[in-house]
Amino acid sequence: MLSYDIVIVGGGPAGLAAAASAREQGIESVLILERDHTLGGILNQCIHNGFGLHTFKEELTGPEYAARFIDRVNELGIEYKLNTMVMDISSEKCITAMNREEGLFQIRAKAVILAMGCRERPRGALNIPGYRPAGIFSAGTAQRLVNMEGYLPGREVVILGSGDIGLIMARRMTLEGAKVKLVAELMPYSGGLKRNIVQCLDDFGIPLKLSHTVIDIDGKERVKGVTVAQVDEHRKPIPGTEEYISCDTLLLSVGLIPENELSRGMGVDMEPVTSGPVVNESLETNVEGVFACGNVLHVHDLVDYVSEEAAAAGKNAARYIREGAKRAEQAGCVELAAEGGVRYTVPKYIHTDRMEEKLTVRFRVGDVYKGCYICTYFDDTCVKRQKRPVMAPGEMEEIKLQKQKLEEYPDLKKITIRIEKGGE
Amino acid sequence: MTVREDRAEKGKRELVCIGCPLGCMITVTCKDGQILTVSGNTCKKGDQYARNEVTNPERMVTTTVRLADRPHETVSVKSERSIPKEKIFDFVKALKMVEVKAPVHISDVILSDVAGTGVAAVATVNRL
């Protein structure tokens, strides 16, 4: 059986950064498994620019950003297998994978880094009535068809969901000659970055209707139109607000689901809010030596943060390999609690003895907050209040925790992060 | 379809800065086509963006061109720098006629002076 120190599942931005980082930490035996025919993952179809401002201090397109990491992986001589699908990972970290050359095979890993990314939420998850005509695509599928394979999937388009991929595709379809008639968003705010609303919708005069959804799809062989209606505060359609819009294509940009079948199969504990694994300060799951990073852990807005997080996962996996059985027993661990508007935190647990000098805690808020404070409590003591002019569910937030500060509270049990209104 | 006109008008304009993912809300006050104040930005870039956006809005453009002999593969390209907003459609249209031959490398010029903008389109992907 093949055997590696670290096996990384997924060759997208997370997998590439994790691999490079593990190798830079001195681990020679690293393998990336990727199911597509090239490395780079979804970045390859994101031909728009805006990637890498944090990492490289310049604006790159998706393929360019991916190429930087692919080049690095090649420079470091890291092994990878393409067109290879991982079927199963056992709790003993035995990986079953398959490809056309080798058939079904198994690999034994000392550590595994989960970097599988996300899948798009499909129509089936939305309960929209109607037949199953051609012309309904997830926005990411349309993006791949247009940008990588050179097809235009439709000419008159309605987009449901104003997440970033939906917004980007509104512009892309418009530039390719299609007419984007409407972007409908169920929530009273957009799920996408502000810059994308400006550059992808406003620039082209594409209307965005908030608190609206698609309630019916017309057409049997091909989409003929959709019925859009306004929704109330409980997201229920309001009778009398229905509007029929003729179109031949409906794009769905209605959320991403971390692709965690493999994680669940090996007994990794999951966080219901993120649909990703529960991890500690080392981005390690409850299964020892199994780490997670990138969109499989929680959905990110910016690939720069994926790379940063993945590099940390790679470094921690390398440390796990080096220290092996000598690793100190986990001392008491501090739980991170998300309250008062904070929906979740990554990580969820911190072993103070294992944390770096500075630890980034990432989270999302559940609503739009203006002029509020991110408050950090060590047990019942408020240790930090950071003002934010605006916070929105579509934009990931972060705070930094300092090891030194945690050590000042030796009996610390719980760190709470909550959003509080201004005033004092 | 035409790109929506944006002009420096009398009074106030609210903008969302696109310089970085922060997306600052910037308010620009103008009088007689002259910018009086820029506020709400966190950095210099925001100030510059707001001034440009009110007087001479520009955008980066990304699209794809065809790859000869490989009908199901494309070459993604970008404008080498940002171009006037109203030229976006002309820029993309000019590239629709273009077909390139492999090998193509990142930063290779695919078409120079696209649609009279003086700006080249360069490859953003390697096709070997």
Asked whether residue B66 falls in the same domain as residue B117, the answer is yes
**Nearest residue, CB atoms, B64 vs list A50, A147, A195:** A147
The CATH classification of domain A122-254, taken from the options 3.20.10.10, 2.60.200.20, 3.40.630.10, 3.50.50.60: 3.50.50.60
- pLDDT, residue A331, reads 61
Asked whether residue B72 falls in the same domain as residue B105, the answer is yes
Per the document, the length of chain B is: 128
Residue A416 has pLDDT above 80, yes or no: yes
Residue A424 has pLDDT above 60, yes or no: no
Per-residue pLDDT reduced to its tens digit, A217-240: 999 999 999 999 999 999 999 999
Contact A302 B21 (CB under 8 A): yes
Measured between alpha carbons, how far apart are the two ends of chain A, in Å? 63
B116 Cβ under 8 Å from any chain A Cβ: no
B68 Cβ under 8 Å from any chain A Cβ: no
**Nearest residue, CB atoms, B21 vs list A148, A193, A390:** A193
Per-residue pLDDT reduced to its tens digit, A371-414: 899 999 999 999 999 998 888 887 899 999 999 999 999 889 99
Model confidence at A328, pLDDT cuts 50, 70, 90, reads low
Residue B3 lies in a domain: no
Residue A273 has pLDDT above 60, yes or no: yes
Residue B1 has pLDDT above 80, yes or no: no
Asked whether residue B75 falls in the same domain as residue B119, the answer is yes
Residue A257 has pLDDT above 90, yes or no: yes
- B66 contacts in chain A (CB < 8 Å): 150
- A176 contacts in chain B (CB < 8 Å): 63, 92
Please, which residues have CB within 8 angstroms of residue A380's CB and are 6 or more apart in sequence?
none
Contact B76 A193 (CB under 8 A): no
- Count up the domains in chain B and report the number: 2
DSSP, residue by residue, A54-109:
HHHSS-EEHHHHHHHHHHHHHHTT-EEESS-EEEEE-TT-EEEEEETTTEEEEEEE
Asked whether residue B46 falls in the same domain as residue B76, the answer is no
From the CA of A156, how many Å to the nearest CA of chain B?
13
Model confidence at B7, pLDDT cuts 50, 70, 90, reads very low
- B68 contacts in chain A (CB < 8 Å): none
B51 Cβ under 8 Å from any chain A Cβ: no
Alpha carbons A183 and A171: distance in angstroms, whole number: 11
From the CA of B16, how many Å to the nearest CA of chain A?
7
Contact B21 A195 (CB under 8 A): yes
Residue B26 lies in a domain: yes
Contact A44 B125 (CB under 8 A): yes
Residue B109 lies in a domain: yes
- pLDDT, residue B5, reads 41
Alpha carbons A181 and A53: distance in angstroms, whole number: 32
- pLDDT, residue B4, reads 40
- A390 contacts in chain B (CB < 8 Å): 25
Measured between alpha carbons, how far apart are the two ends of chain B, in Å? 36
Of B62, B120, B70, B119, the C-alpha closest to A63 is: B62
- B72 contacts in chain A (CB < 8 Å): 149-150
Please compute the mean of the pLDDT values over residues B77-104 and round it to a whole number.
95
Closest-approach residue (CA) in chain A for B66: A150
Residue B2 lies in a domain: no
- pLDDT, residue B22, reads 67
Considering A111-115, A187-191, A252-256, the range whose residues carry the highest mean pLDDT is A111-115
Model confidence at A267, pLDDT cuts 50, 70, 90, reads very high
Q: Does domain A1-119+256-327 have CATH number 3.40.50.970?
A: no
Per-residue pLDDT reduced to its tens digit, A35-53: 999 999 999 999 999 899 8
Look-up of token digits 């409906």? A250
Per-residue pLDDT reduced to its tens digit, A69-128: 999 999 999 999 999 999 999 999 999 999 999 999 999 999 999 999 999 999 988 889
Asked whether residue B46 falls in the same domain as residue B15, the answer is yes
Asked whether residue B66 falls in the same domain as residue B118, the answer is yes
Residue B2 has pLDDT above 70, yes or no: no
Residue B18 lies in a domain: yes
Per-residue pLDDT reduced to its tens digit, B113-123: 999 999 999 99
Contact B106 A63 (CB under 8 A): yes
Asked whether residue B81 falls in the same domain as residue B104, the answer is yes
Domain map of chain A by residue range? 1-119+256-327, 122-254, 330-424
Confidence (pTM)? 0.91
From the CA of B119, how many Å to the nearest CA of chain A?
16
From the CA of A153, how many Å to the nearest CA of chain B?
14
Q: What is the CATH number of the domain that holds B114?
A: 3.10.530.10
Residue B6 lies in a domain: no
Per-residue pLDDT reduced to its tens digit, A339-366: 989 999 999 999 988 899 999 999 999 9
Asked whether residue B115 falls in the same domain as residue B76, the answer is yes
Asked whether residue B33 falls in the same domain as residue B51, the answer is yes
Residue to substitute from B43, B70, B75, B76, interface A, most A β-carbons within 10 A = B76
**Nearest residue, CB atoms, B64 vs list A47, A195, A302:** A47
Residues of the domain holding B83: 62-123
Model confidence at A367, pLDDT cuts 50, 70, 90, reads confident
pLDDT mean across residues, chain A: 94
Contact B76 A47 (CB under 8 A): yes
Alpha carbons A146 and A155: distance in angstroms, whole number: 12
Residue A423 has pLDDT above 70, yes or no: no
To 10 degrees, the CA torsion angle through A161, A171, B123, B81?
Answer: -120
Asked whether residue B79 falls in the same domain as residue B30, the answer is no
Per-residue pLDDT reduced to its tens digit, B14-56: 888 876 656 788 999 988 878 889 999 888 889 998 998 888 8
Residue B82 lies in a domain: yes
Asked whether residue B16 falls in the same domain as residue B66, the answer is no
Angle, in degrees to the nearest 10, between helices B88-96 and A164-175: 70
Question: What is the distance, to the nearest Å, from the Cα of residue A331 to the centroid of all Cα atoms in its chain?
Answer: 30
Q: Which helix (H) or strand (E) holds A259?
A: none
Residue B104 has pLDDT above 90, yes or no: yes
Asked whether residue B42 falls in the same domain as residue B77, the answer is no
B1 Cβ under 8 Å from any chain A Cβ: yes
Residue B41 lies in a domain: yes
Please compute the mean of the pLDDT values over residues A168-193 and round it to a whole number.
93
Angle, in degrees to the nearest 10, between helices A164-175 and A139-147: 40
